[in-house]
Amino acid sequence: MRDEQKKRKLKKFLLIAGAVLMTVLLGYACFYTFTRSKLDNFTVKATGLTCTDEGMIGKFLKDLQLNYFAFDQSELSDKLKQKFFCIGKINTEVSFPNKLTIEAEGRKAEFAAVQVLLPRQPNPLVELPADYQIATESSQAAVPVKILDRIVKDVNESSNSAYFLIDSEGVIFDQGEGTINFPVLRITGEELKIGGRVQGDLIGKIKQALASLTNIEGPTDKIIVIGDKLIIDSKPRLIFSLNKRLDYQATSLQLILTQAKMSSDPSKPGSGDIESIDLRFNKPVVVYGKR
């Protein structure tokens, strides 16, 4: 009887000891595998980068002490873009135990921007002269036609020789001169510099505004940003509010243009053409040319 009890105790002890030993061995194997699986074999392919090169990216990756089992592509992309502002798109591939392949592409320009210093600061609260009053409740707050003409003229005549390239995320990633094939943003009151960003979601709002200009025949590549006003120096000239919903403003614009087209006189080309549309108000201000 006692021999049986001893055997059971010995068997139980051996089972516990075996389980402990297996746990220790498994833990050690996991620890060894995890610590030995550091990504230190890098292949970097870079195209169109202006602020870094493959060697600098490789050195940065080495300093991160990446691990195969803890690799997060999204986190790595964020870190690379924070370190190297000119990187726009990143593709990664990891191979056990220690290989990491990265393809980094430069940012793609969607706009060219010019920083404008006006000879005089426009007053956004100026009232309309009596002879420019229009029968609408919003006219008291509208920018006067002559003053707006002066502002646009000042902006267009401002001296500048270089422009900044901006991508869809609003990142300023390069600078150049000469002929460009992008819409030009003329931005007042904001310092532009390579590696920085334009204010807020300005690029997204400008793209949304431009998408609504399907019925505008004149050029729409001259874009002016003054405070919370987005001015598109087209024909007609358009003024959007950057602080209000652009989809509502775009809807109002389309209604105004459709109505103007329906009421135009085909026998008198150019007569009664719209000169400007200010969409910043509940009742947009529409200024017509001489009939």
Q: What is the CATH number of the domain that holds 84?
A: 3.10.20
Q: Which helix (H) or strand (E) holds 87?
A: strand 87-95
Question: Which residue, 57, 84, 106, sits at the end of a domain?
Answer: 106
- pLDDT at position 282, please? 86
- Identify whether residues 96 and 130 lie together within a single domain: no
Beta strands 111-116 and 184-188 are: parallel
- Identify whether residues 167 and 54 lie together within a single domain: no
Beta strands 163-166 and 111-116 are: antiparallel
Question: Which residue, 106, 127, 152, sits at the end of a domain?
Answer: 106
Beta strands 184-188 and 172-176 are: unpaired
Taking the model in full, what pTM does it have?
A: 0.72
Residue 19 lies in a domain: no
Residue 209 lies in a domain: yes
- Identify whether residues 77 and 211 lie together within a single domain: no
Instruction: Select from 55, 92, 93, 66 the least CA-distant residue to 77.
Output: 92
Question: Which residue, 55, 86, 106, sits at the end of a domain?
Answer: 106
Residue 8 lies in a domain: no
- Identify whether residues 158 and 268 lie together within a single domain: yes
Place of tokens 């509010």: 241
Report how many domains make up the chain: 2
- Identify whether residues 117 and 149 lie together within a single domain: yes
Question: Phi, psi at residue 114, to the nearest 5°?
Answer: -125, 130
Task: Provide the domain limits for residue 266.
Answer: 111-288
Instruction: Select from 201, 182, 286, 180 the least CA-distant residue to 243.
Output: 201
- Give the Cα separation of 107 and 166 in Å (integer): 8
250-273 pLDDT, tens digit each? 999 989 888 887 776 555 555 458
Average pLDDT on 209-222 reads 78
37-90 pLDDT, tens digit each? 788 899 999 999 989 999 999 999 999 988 888 889 999 999 999 999 999 999
Average pLDDT on 81-100 reads 91
8 Å CB contact between 202 and 225: yes
Give the number of other CB atoms < 10 A from CB of residue 122: 18
Residue 1 lies in a domain: no
Residue 268 lies in a domain: yes
Three-class SS state of 271:
coil
220-237 pLDDT, tens digit each? 778 888 888 899 988 888
